[in-house]
Amino acid sequence: TLEDAPSDEPQQFMADVLSPRSIMLQWSRPTEPNGIITGYTLVYDDTNEIQIIPLPNVLNYTLDNLNEFMNYMFLLSASTSVGMGPNATVNAMTQEDVPTAPP
């Protein structure tokens, strides 16, 4: 059989808020990869600027330097040498930071 783009999205896509500025994303491989997964593409909106991050064949990624107390929506797709599959989606909100000095 010839290789094709994945038929489904990465599975169990989860976000773990680590700090007011960091989120760790985790996932598992698509159940129907239709070939060898060569990597993933992560997309998110960071203060009205779309970020596109190509990732190697890994199952987690930590984002740092995010904005505090902000809701993020992350899209993740897997790729084979033929193309990208559909997106998995997860939302996460960074924490509110503690003030560094009294007002």
**What ranges make up the beta strands (E) of 1-103?**
11-19, 22-28, 39-45, 50-55, 60-63, 71-79, 88-93
pLDDT in tens, 44-82: 998 889 999 999 999 999 999 999 999 999 999 999 999
Separation CA 27–CA 42 (nearest Å): 12
Please count the other Cβ atoms lying within 10 Å of the Cβ belonging to residue 74. Answer: 23
pTM over 0.85: yes
At 47, list the tokens.
């203060």
Q: What is the pLDDT of residue 101?
A: 67
pLDDT in tens, 7-55: 999 999 999 999 999 999 999 999 999 999 999 999 999 888 999 999 9
Separation CA 30–CA 11 (nearest Å): 6
Q: What is the pLDDT of residue 103?
A: 64
**Percent helix, strand and coil across the chain, each to the nearest 5:** 0, 50, 50
